[in-house]
Structure 1
């Protein structure tokens, strides 16, 4: 079998990062990686002799930190950073909605959930400037000014209280089918097995596949999700741990094939 020469090798691309838990179940795949690094450190103390001359060194505390930035959010990676799971099911969200009054009534697009008779609570006049003004309180019958009743997506205001064409703002809880990740204060970032797949090329233009294997990647729970003018990117960081159930002292293995 011919040996693979890795003495003149370039890593041209990070293909993907995959992580698995102790049961070997897939936690997440990151495959839109913009940039990444594997930072290797160690401590070194000088050993000195006569006249303070350096006669050796004491080396200890090797460390490896992996960092990467992905072009899109990855739910499983968020779960790894927060120590949670991605839940699928029905969850409540707070929905804002603007409706228009006609003949003392207005119709919602969503379905409020909550205590009967208090599903919405309050409705607000939308001012021409966009701010919210006078509030109206939910009531079972809306038999007095300043009140409204709700039934089957329809709001009914006290007769003559609000002119036709007036915009009303409401806020209510609605049940949706969704995915949910929770950042629980009692759960912390995970330790996972990480594989970093890369594309390599030597000076003779031979292309190889490379894989960094980190048996115990301890994810950092400190991260930022920036939102605004630029698209949100997803940055991760994890520290390689030695030992564990495998007894391995390797911080990473790099396999080129």
Structure 2
């Protein structure tokens, strides 16, 4: 290992840990790019005839920024100042229901006020429109009349008025359903986290020897400015943080770089 001449060939992963209890909060292991940038203010000290005789240096600042090739729940939580929660949650479910013999079945159990769990079912017109065209059926808790339907949450059965919806028709329903999953909440009054960060890298010296390195940032203040994108572009996770001195321990290190075989 010769650190007189070496390059960083890859950024392997970034891990972030809670500064209080040491728990793992995030891991970014598909880093497509990463950069550590340093700034420093320098003011020249001038003497006679305006010549520069020294300089005053202050306000050193280190920022880290990069892109992970995939979205990461831990990073979203860090940048929104939230936690990843496990539990049961309500979502708005879009359901396409096939009608046979004036009946159909929802995929999920619709949840809501008794007799109004679904509320409205939409029937598409010949142009497949169900907002600007088509017709709307209203839920009833009694036997359905023309333009109505009933719903039994216990069996997920939907019953239409006889002849209202032809067999083979696909109707659309939007309703609240309970799912088991994970939740990240972006609360207006909660802000991005400050974590202890470790950045693992692979290095190579001028003699083609591979070795490892790790940047240690004891107080990385994550930015709450980010984008979530998808569609024609892949869903990537951009992130940025500012390294701060650790006022609790009195250490002013903005980063430490350890190199090892």
TM-score band, normalised by shorter chain: over 0.9
Unaligned runs of 5+ in 1: none
Structure 1 window deviating more from structure 2 (223-232 vs 136-145): it is: 136-145
Among candidates 238, 249, 252, match of residue 246 of structure 1? 249
Among candidates 2, 5, 15, match of residue 18 of structure 1? 15
- C-alpha change, 1:13 and 1:143, in structure 2 (3 Å) is closer
**How big is the shift at 1:139?**
0.5
Deviations 1:139-198 (A, max 9, x none): 011442211100121111122222222221100111111011111111100000000000
Counterpart position of 1:159: 162
**1:124 and 2:125 correspond:** no
**How big is the shift at 1:62?**
0.4
Deviations 1:96-154 (A, max 9, x none): 11112222111112111122211101001122333202111110114422111001211
Unaligned runs of 5+ in 2: none
SS class of match (1:218): strand
Counterpart position of 1:91: 89
Q: CA RMSD for the aligned pairs?
A: 1.3
- C-alpha change, 1:177 and 1:52, in structure 2 (3 Å) is same
Counterpart position of 2:207: 204
1:102-181 aligned within 5 A? 102-132=100-130, 133-151=134-152, 152-181=155-184
Displaced runs of 4 or more, over 4 A: none
**Could you tell me how far apart the structure 1 residues matched to 2:120 and 2:144 are?**
16
Deviations 1:11-66 (A, max 9, x none): 00111111101211111111111110001111111222223222221111000001
Question: Is this contact kept in 1: 2:106–2:157, CA < 8 A?
Answer: yes
1:73-88 aligned within 5 A? 73-88=71-86
Structure 1 window deviating more from structure 2 (136-145 vs 215-224): it is: 136-145
**Could you tell me how far apart the structure 1 residues matched to 2:227 and 2:36 are?**
20
Among candidates 96, 99, 102, match of residue 101 of structure 1? 99
SS class of match (2:27): strand
SS class of match (2:78): helix
**Could you tell me how far apart the structure 1 residues matched to 2:144 and 2:199 are?**
66
**Could you tell me how far apart the structure 1 residues matched to 2:194 and 2:68 are?**
19
TM normalised by structure 2 equals: 0.94
**1:47 and 2:58 correspond:** no
Q: How many residues are aligned here? A: 254
Structure 1 window deviating more from structure 2 (142-151 vs 89-98): it is: 142-151
Question: Is this contact kept in 1: 2:109–2:177, CA < 8 A?
Answer: yes
Question: Is this contact kept in 1: 2:2–2:206, CA < 8 A?
Answer: no
Structure 1 window deviating more from structure 2 (95-104 vs 56-65): it is: 95-104
